[in-house]
A and B are shown apart, each in its own frame.
Chain A
């Protein structure tokens, strides 16, 4: 019954609509970035690439983007290392209250970001490190650690412990086993966790809003400031570059580590 032609047309149509809904904003952004007039409009009134040459007119955009990349890189490295270690402990050893520990580590995902931002800045002021670069990184680690924790946990659960035991019996000390066998088995989880952490940190506005002041700033903060005061398509041009670069990165990671199809065993 479910193989009926009409059924397939309906489900296929619905799936197509859903995908279109997801892709549409991206297409609009890209189209708008080539707008000829001074204001955002859709459909475009004329085509031009001039906004791409004016990205530099967003206040401190170069400095802010560079800082966002640095913050995202360091946060992602820290979150992936710490989240990975936590995942190892949660999956491989019987730690007391393991479920509770996992829930606490994952909690920032389910809390309002504004609340986390407020709590973090009050905490940083109390201990005297507010508005420093490292406080911003620590704030982002708190936010993103849940992602690598999750992806590495799944990867560890999929990995065969017997491979590690085989390596042990062949003369490999525990750390060598981790380096030569475990890491290769969980690589897709590590890479996807790192990418998630990087992207979420790089893109974060609500938490950064509380944590930056003065010379410390990030890309989303400056982009929002610009949008607040201007209606020109420059942010669309910036976003288009952003989309292209990130899509390339994700495609590369998928090709090499199959991060999207992680759940399908090789």
Chain B
């Protein structure tokens, strides 16, 4: 395992700039996620690390060595593809042995390492099977075994859980995390799925338009996103335009365009300045009466309730755009029927304040 440094990497396809200049350092043994919408350049970044994309400028260093001009087969980088890309004409054992054979290891060593790795991913009995006869989760584990058996300096995972169904995803998430910690893998996970990124990585780099817009620990990024766009991407939230009325202590008072008055953390803008406020759906509480002592509360009417299993989305109509609140199914059952009057409230600490774009 090794440290990865991308220094001002610039990539363009046919003259169109895809990554204008990206710098990123992944520490030895660290697992980082590149999270962003499709087309944000996260896969291109991954391909630049693997060597399938040649940067126009900048450098890629793996373990301190400059790999910018090295071909993919000389980089010692493990890749797990979204479609797994298993060699369909080879057995599971042959698939996993492929990289070891290329490294000209003695036959006995190859057999031992393959057996050990297959056991690690709980596929020991499947060595003689062909990929076509395996389930999605098993194929995923073969792809993982094939990539880690060669002890790559960096492990790259492209949407690793994207093709699995819900239950399997949850299982693999835990398994992948354990494996990463146990082997001390330096890894980059590319994903558009925030849950995948937040659960698997120690740090998440949020990418928009070919650049990292924010990077940080999953909890920090989730609870304190730096931009409105980041907040929107990390779980759609409710946002509204407001003006700063007053700033005192660590808090400010805001009046929204709809006329609600909210208290939240102090504003980056001066009094009278325009800001955008955001509140996460799971932070909004709904109650039949105005909750006593609530700093931020307003009345509305239930517009719709969307059942989602353990939770439900309750849409509340009020003066502004429909508000979405995420509540437990249990509480959604209590009086939250369409057309019922309801009070929405949230803590000042749950208000996210962003400088307005305009």
Contact = CB atoms under 8 A, between A and B. Distances in A.
A228 to B, nearest CB: 49
Nearest to A163: B85
Interface in A108-123: none
24 contacts: A160-B85, A162-B81, A163-B86, A165-B52, A166-B85, A166-B87, A166-B146, A168-B52, A168-B72, A168-B73, A169-B50, A169-B78, A169-B147, A170-B73, A170-B78, A170-B102, A170-B147, A171-B74, A180-B98, A181-B87, A184-B88, A184-B89, A185-B88, A185-B89
Contacts, number: 69
B83 A165 contact: no
A163 B102 CA distance: 15
B355 to A, nearest CB: 42
Contacts of A163: 85-88
Contacts of B99: 170-171
Q: Pick from B52, B72, B74, B132 the residue with the most CB of A within 10 Å.
A: B72
Contacts of A107: none
A169 B88 contact: no
Classify chain B: how many residues form its interface, as a range.
20 to 34
B89 A165 contact: no
Contact of B85 (A165, A176, A180): A165
B150 interface: yes
B81 A165 contact: yes
A237 B183 CA distance: 71
A218 B230 CA distance: 75
A266 B90 CA distance: 13
Interface of B: 50-52, 71-79, 81, 83, 85-90, 98-99, 102-103, 132, 146-147, 150
Nearest to A161: B85
Interface of A: 160, 162-163, 165-174, 176, 180-181, 184-185, 266
Nearest to A168: B72
Contacts of B81: 162, 165-166
Given A162-B81, A176-B102, A266-B132, A171 B76 contact: yes
Q: Pick from B74, B76, B87 the residue with the most CB of A within 10 Å.
A: B87
B87 A173 contact: no
Contacts of B98: 167, 170, 172, 180
Contacts of A184: 87-90
A110 B6 CA distance: 54
A168 B147 CA distance: 12
A169 B52 CA distance: 9
Given A165-B52, A176-B102, A170 B150 contact: yes
